[in-house]
Amino acid sequence: MQSEANCPNCGAVIGTGVPGLPVVVCGFCNSLLGKAGDALSKVGEAGRVPFDVSPLQIGTRLTVDGVRGEIVGRERWAYEDGFWNEWLLQFPDGASRWVAEESGLYMIMEEFEGEPEEIAVLERIDMADRSNMGERVRFDNTLYTVSDMKTVRCVAVEGSLPHEIGADQPRKSIDFRTSDKRAITWQKDEEGHSLWRGAYYLLEDLSPSNLRRFDHWDKPGFETS
Protein backbone atom coordinates (compact mmCIF):
# COMPACT_ATOMS: atom_id res chain seq x y z
CA MET A 1 0.00 0.00 0.00
CA GLN A 2 1.31 3.46 -0.93
CA SER A 3 1.94 6.04 1.75
CA GLU A 4 0.59 9.54 1.23
CA ALA A 5 2.11 13.02 1.19
CA ASN A 6 1.22 16.53 0.04
CA CYS A 7 2.29 17.55 -3.43
CA PRO A 8 4.95 20.28 -2.93
CA ASN A 9 3.53 22.20 -5.91
CA CYS A 10 -0.26 22.21 -5.39
CA GLY A 11 -0.68 20.79 -1.88
CA ALA A 12 -2.97 17.93 -2.90
CA VAL A 13 -2.75 14.70 -0.90
CA ILE A 14 -1.26 12.09 -3.24
CA GLY A 15 0.24 8.64 -3.04
CA THR A 16 4.02 8.57 -2.96
CA GLY A 17 4.14 5.92 -5.66
CA VAL A 18 5.79 2.53 -5.92
CA PRO A 19 8.58 1.84 -3.39
CA GLY A 20 11.95 1.72 -5.13
CA LEU A 21 10.92 3.96 -8.02
CA PRO A 22 12.35 7.48 -7.58
CA VAL A 23 9.76 9.55 -9.49
CA VAL A 24 6.00 9.96 -9.12
CA VAL A 25 3.54 12.24 -10.93
CA CYS A 26 0.94 14.39 -9.15
CA GLY A 27 -2.40 13.53 -10.75
CA PHE A 28 -3.82 16.95 -9.80
CA CYS A 29 -1.29 19.48 -11.15
CA ASN A 30 0.82 17.18 -13.38
CA SER A 31 4.07 17.98 -11.58
CA LEU A 32 6.97 15.55 -11.92
CA LEU A 33 8.10 14.80 -8.35
CA GLY A 34 11.37 13.32 -7.15
CA LYS A 35 11.36 11.18 -4.01
CA ALA A 36 13.81 11.05 -1.12
CA GLY A 37 12.21 8.45 1.14
CA ASP A 38 8.62 9.69 1.32
CA ALA A 39 9.64 13.35 0.92
CA LEU A 40 8.70 14.85 -2.45
CA SER A 41 10.22 17.73 -4.43
CA LYS A 42 9.21 19.11 -7.79
CA VAL A 43 11.73 18.26 -10.52
CA GLY A 44 9.74 19.14 -13.65
CA GLU A 45 6.44 19.16 -15.49
CA ALA A 46 4.81 15.86 -16.43
CA GLY A 47 2.47 17.16 -19.12
CA ARG A 48 -1.16 16.07 -19.37
CA VAL A 49 -1.81 12.65 -20.90
CA PRO A 50 -4.48 13.09 -23.60
CA PHE A 51 -7.51 10.84 -23.97
CA ASP A 52 -6.91 7.73 -26.04
CA VAL A 53 -8.49 4.30 -26.44
CA SER A 54 -5.70 2.12 -25.08
CA PRO A 55 -7.07 -0.92 -23.22
CA LEU A 56 -4.17 -0.63 -20.76
CA GLN A 57 -4.15 1.56 -17.66
CA ILE A 58 -2.23 1.89 -14.43
CA GLY A 59 -3.24 -1.18 -12.43
CA THR A 60 -3.55 -3.52 -15.43
CA ARG A 61 -1.79 -6.84 -14.75
CA LEU A 62 0.08 -8.81 -17.42
CA THR A 63 2.03 -12.07 -17.46
CA VAL A 64 5.41 -12.18 -19.22
CA ASP A 65 7.55 -15.34 -19.29
CA GLY A 66 5.34 -16.86 -16.60
CA VAL A 67 5.69 -13.93 -14.17
CA ARG A 68 2.76 -11.65 -13.29
CA GLY A 69 3.40 -7.92 -13.15
CA GLU A 70 1.41 -4.73 -12.75
CA ILE A 71 1.51 -1.52 -14.77
CA VAL A 72 2.56 1.35 -12.51
CA GLY A 73 3.45 4.18 -14.92
CA ARG A 74 3.20 5.49 -18.46
CA GLU A 75 5.22 7.63 -20.85
CA ARG A 76 3.48 9.21 -23.84
CA TRP A 77 5.80 9.63 -26.85
CA ALA A 78 5.32 11.74 -29.97
CA TYR A 79 7.00 11.94 -33.37
CA GLU A 80 6.29 13.69 -36.64
CA ASP A 81 3.56 11.27 -37.73
CA GLY A 82 1.86 10.31 -34.46
CA PHE A 83 1.96 9.13 -30.85
CA TRP A 84 2.32 5.96 -28.82
CA ASN A 85 2.31 4.81 -25.17
CA GLU A 86 5.00 3.01 -23.22
CA TRP A 87 3.83 1.43 -19.96
CA LEU A 88 6.09 0.48 -17.05
CA LEU A 89 5.36 -3.11 -15.97
CA GLN A 90 6.66 -3.82 -12.45
CA PHE A 91 7.24 -7.36 -11.14
CA PRO A 92 7.13 -8.56 -7.51
CA ASP A 93 10.94 -8.82 -7.29
CA GLY A 94 11.37 -5.16 -8.32
CA ALA A 95 12.38 -5.93 -11.91
CA SER A 96 10.51 -4.11 -14.65
CA ARG A 97 9.95 -4.01 -18.40
CA TRP A 98 8.39 -1.51 -20.76
CA VAL A 99 5.27 -2.34 -22.78
CA ALA A 100 5.05 -0.31 -26.00
CA GLU A 101 1.78 -0.27 -27.94
CA GLU A 102 2.16 -0.46 -31.71
CA SER A 103 -0.68 -1.07 -34.18
CA GLY A 104 -2.55 -3.55 -31.99
CA LEU A 105 0.61 -5.35 -30.84
CA TYR A 106 2.44 -5.04 -27.53
CA MET A 107 6.22 -4.92 -27.53
CA ILE A 108 7.72 -6.08 -24.23
CA MET A 109 11.22 -4.63 -23.88
CA GLU A 110 14.09 -4.67 -21.41
CA GLU A 111 17.37 -2.75 -21.45
CA PHE A 112 20.62 -4.56 -22.20
CA GLU A 113 24.28 -3.79 -22.77
CA GLY A 114 25.47 -4.31 -26.33
CA GLU A 115 28.92 -5.57 -27.25
CA PRO A 116 31.46 -2.85 -28.24
CA GLU A 117 31.37 -3.92 -31.88
CA GLU A 118 27.57 -3.75 -31.87
CA ILE A 119 27.63 -0.24 -30.39
CA ALA A 120 30.10 0.83 -33.09
CA VAL A 121 27.73 -0.40 -35.82
CA LEU A 122 24.81 1.41 -34.16
CA GLU A 123 26.78 4.66 -34.00
CA ARG A 124 27.60 4.33 -37.71
CA ILE A 125 23.93 3.76 -38.61
CA ASP A 126 22.91 6.69 -36.43
CA MET A 127 25.36 9.00 -38.21
CA ALA A 128 24.16 7.83 -41.65
CA ASP A 129 20.57 8.78 -40.85
CA ARG A 130 17.91 7.16 -43.09
CA SER A 131 20.31 6.01 -45.81
CA ASN A 132 20.76 2.74 -43.87
CA MET A 133 17.08 1.75 -43.86
CA GLY A 134 16.84 -1.95 -44.69
CA GLU A 135 20.40 -2.76 -43.63
CA ARG A 136 20.77 -6.01 -41.69
CA VAL A 137 22.62 -5.98 -38.34
CA ARG A 138 23.58 -8.92 -36.14
CA PHE A 139 22.80 -9.04 -32.41
CA ASP A 140 23.37 -12.24 -30.42
CA ASN A 141 23.84 -14.22 -33.66
CA THR A 142 20.46 -13.02 -34.98
CA LEU A 143 20.04 -10.78 -38.01
CA TYR A 144 17.81 -7.74 -37.53
CA THR A 145 16.70 -5.31 -40.23
CA VAL A 146 16.77 -1.52 -39.77
CA SER A 147 13.04 -0.81 -39.99
CA ASP A 148 12.56 2.76 -38.76
CA MET A 149 14.48 5.89 -37.78
CA LYS A 150 12.84 8.92 -36.22
CA THR A 151 13.21 11.75 -33.72
CA VAL A 152 10.85 11.31 -30.77
CA ARG A 153 9.84 13.34 -27.71
CA CYS A 154 8.23 12.40 -24.43
CA VAL A 155 5.23 14.72 -24.08
CA ALA A 156 3.50 13.42 -20.94
CA VAL A 157 3.91 10.90 -18.10
CA GLU A 158 1.81 9.52 -15.27
CA GLY A 159 2.17 7.20 -12.29
CA SER A 160 5.52 6.00 -10.95
CA LEU A 161 8.70 6.04 -13.03
CA PRO A 162 12.31 4.82 -12.75
CA HIS A 163 13.83 8.14 -13.90
CA GLU A 164 13.26 11.83 -14.45
CA ILE A 165 12.52 12.61 -18.08
CA GLY A 166 12.85 16.02 -19.65
CA ALA A 167 9.68 17.41 -21.19
CA ASP A 168 9.89 17.55 -24.99
CA GLN A 169 13.59 16.65 -25.04
CA PRO A 170 14.40 15.24 -28.52
CA ARG A 171 15.72 11.70 -28.77
CA LYS A 172 16.90 9.74 -31.82
CA SER A 173 15.26 6.31 -32.05
CA ILE A 174 16.26 3.49 -34.43
CA ASP A 175 14.23 0.27 -34.63
CA PHE A 176 15.46 -3.15 -35.75
CA ARG A 177 13.08 -6.04 -36.41
CA THR A 178 13.05 -9.71 -37.39
CA SER A 179 10.37 -11.64 -39.26
CA ASP A 180 9.53 -13.63 -36.10
CA LYS A 181 8.52 -10.51 -34.09
CA ARG A 182 11.75 -9.90 -32.20
CA ALA A 183 12.86 -6.30 -31.78
CA ILE A 184 15.83 -4.11 -30.88
CA THR A 185 15.58 -0.35 -30.28
CA TRP A 186 18.55 2.04 -30.04
CA GLN A 187 17.88 5.44 -28.46
CA LYS A 188 20.24 8.38 -28.12
CA ASP A 189 19.95 11.91 -26.72
CA GLU A 190 22.16 14.53 -25.11
CA GLU A 191 22.52 12.38 -21.97
CA GLY A 192 23.78 9.25 -23.77
CA HIS A 193 22.37 6.13 -25.39
CA SER A 194 20.36 3.06 -24.39
CA LEU A 195 19.70 -0.29 -26.06
CA TRP A 196 16.51 -2.33 -25.68
CA ARG A 197 15.42 -5.77 -26.84
CA GLY A 198 12.19 -7.68 -26.75
CA ALA A 199 9.39 -9.15 -28.81
CA TYR A 200 5.85 -8.42 -29.98
CA TYR A 201 2.80 -10.06 -28.41
CA LEU A 202 -0.93 -10.01 -28.88
CA LEU A 203 -2.76 -8.71 -25.81
CA GLU A 204 -4.37 -12.10 -25.21
CA ASP A 205 -0.89 -13.67 -25.04
CA LEU A 206 -0.25 -11.64 -21.86
CA SER A 207 -3.28 -12.88 -19.82
CA PRO A 208 -4.41 -9.33 -18.97
CA SER A 209 -6.62 -8.35 -16.08
CA ASN A 210 -8.07 -5.01 -14.96
CA LEU A 211 -8.20 -3.65 -18.49
CA ARG A 212 -9.64 -0.21 -19.06
CA ARG A 213 -13.40 0.01 -19.56
CA PHE A 214 -15.20 1.97 -22.28
CA ASP A 215 -18.91 2.55 -22.73
CA HIS A 216 -20.47 0.10 -25.20
CA TRP A 217 -17.31 -2.05 -25.39
CA ASP A 218 -17.67 -5.62 -24.24
CA LYS A 219 -15.11 -7.14 -21.90
CA PRO A 220 -12.76 -9.26 -24.06
CA GLY A 221 -13.15 -13.01 -23.59
CA PHE A 222 -9.42 -13.45 -22.91
CA GLU A 223 -9.34 -11.05 -19.93
CA THR A 224 -8.60 -12.90 -16.69
CA SER A 225 -10.13 -12.16 -13.33
CATH number at residue 11: 2.20.28
User: In this structure, is residue 212 part of a structural domain?
Assistant: no
In which domain, by residue range, is 153 found?
Answer: 111-201
User: In this structure, is residue 69 part of a structural domain?
Assistant: no
User: What's the pLDDT score for residue 124?
Assistant: 92
Averaged pLDDT for residues 20-39: 92
Which stretch, 24-38, 40-54, 59-73, has highest mean pLDDT?
A: 59-73
Averaged pLDDT for residues 22-34: 95
User: In this structure, is residue 70 part of a structural domain?
Assistant: no
User: In this structure, is residue 27 part of a structural domain?
Assistant: yes
User: In this structure, is residue 14 part of a structural domain?
Assistant: yes
Separation of alpha carbons 181 and 200, rounded Å? 5
Q: Which residues contact 141 (CB under 8 A, 6 or more apart)?
A: none
User: What's the pLDDT score for residue 12?
Assistant: 96
Q: Are residues 119 and 192 in the same domain?
A: yes
User: What's the pLDDT score for residue 129?
Assistant: 76
- More confidently predicted of 156 and 130: 156
Residue 1's pLDDT band (cuts 50, 70, 90) = low
User: In this structure, is residue 26 part of a structural domain?
Assistant: yes
User: In this structure, is residue 62 part of a structural domain?
Assistant: no
pTM of the model: 0.93
Give 76-110 pLDDT, tens digit per residue. Answer: 999 998 999 999 999 999 999 999 998 889 999 99
Specify the number of domains making up the chain: 2
User: What's the pLDDT score for residue 109?
Assistant: 97
User: In this structure, is residue 104 part of a structural domain?
Assistant: no
Residue 166's pLDDT band (cuts 50, 70, 90) = low
Q: Which residues contact 199 (CB under 8 A, 6 or more apart)?
A: 107, 108, 181, 182, 183
User: What's the pLDDT score for residue 225?
Assistant: 81
